[in-house]
Structure 1
């Protein structure tokens, strides 16, 4: 009897759509769940070097929360490479301007920093409000507490 390990190939992976409501959710816990689904680690045919994950739609990104005093102290920064080119903004400022980017940043930070991770990140769709244009794909709503 052949007991070899099955590795998922690129074309044989069936992709589902998952909907996550971020209303009142903790940012880090939401990000770990979403990253796990994007990578496909919740599926039995998970293969580390293949994109076996599902599409993830996150709604209500503007209602995500942090625990403790992190909302006051957390900063996002980027550097242009030029002298004086370091730009910083606090978590509160970032949430007012572009809450989608805050959630995307947290989730992408939990994906591999390789070409495979960038490919998996393209399956992430984040929206600030409750509306999203992916109703035709019938995304399955999942509970974060489970």
Structure 2
């Protein structure tokens, strides 16, 4: 039996929509990273770009567990003095999209393919998004935060 290797003609990129309301950040990021990499498909290969497009809505209603509200998210521009640090509490109010993108980026492999996969992630603060013509399928995350119950 020969090993199956996906060809460019075999690639299909579906669209999924994920509601982040009351979902713990780590659980959301791991599920989204799985969809972006294409690990949910039977034709998965680590070197091939089989991932899907993922739309995350209600990013401002995400659940942060533990002491994350007191911690900070760091990023560096690569230029001298380019260290940027923002607290999670401040980011949840002003830019919740950055929290989710940083968590998903950390769960993707550290290679050239990760940038292509991360570009397929669309994060929106509210329930509205401009990608309705793509007819995304809903992807349900079963486990929600214990504090939300």
TM-score (norm 2): 0.89
The count of corresponding residues between Structure 1 and Structure 2 is 142
From the superposition, tell whether residues 63 and 8 of structure 1 become closer, same or farther in structure 2 (CA, over 3 Å). same
Structure 1 portions without partners, runs of 5+:
none
**3-state SS of paired residue (1:11):** helix
1:18 aligns with one of 16, 19, 25: 16
RMSD of aligned alpha carbons: 1.4
Structure 2 portions without partners, runs of 5+:
144-149
Q: Given the alignment of the two structures, is residue 75 of structure 1 paired with residue 82 of structure 2, yes or no?
A: no
TM-score (norm 1): 0.91
Quote the Cα distance in structure 2 between the aligned partners of 1:122 and 1:50.
Answer: 15
**3-state SS of paired residue (2:39):** coil
Q: Given the alignment of the two structures, is residue 143 of structure 1 paired with residue 140 of structure 2, yes or no?
A: yes
Stretches of 4+ aligned residues off by more than 6 angstroms: none
Q: Given the alignment of the two structures, is residue 28 of structure 1 paired with residue 58 of structure 2, yes or no?
A: no
For 1:33-112, list aligned pairs within 5 A: 33-72=31-70, 74-80=71-77, 81-83=79-81, 85-112=82-109
Query: 1:97 offset after TM fit, Å?
Result: 1.5
Quote the Cα distance in structure 2 between the aligned partners of 1:14 and 1:86.
Answer: 38
Quote the Cα distance in structure 2 between the aligned partners of 1:125 and 1:86.
Answer: 25
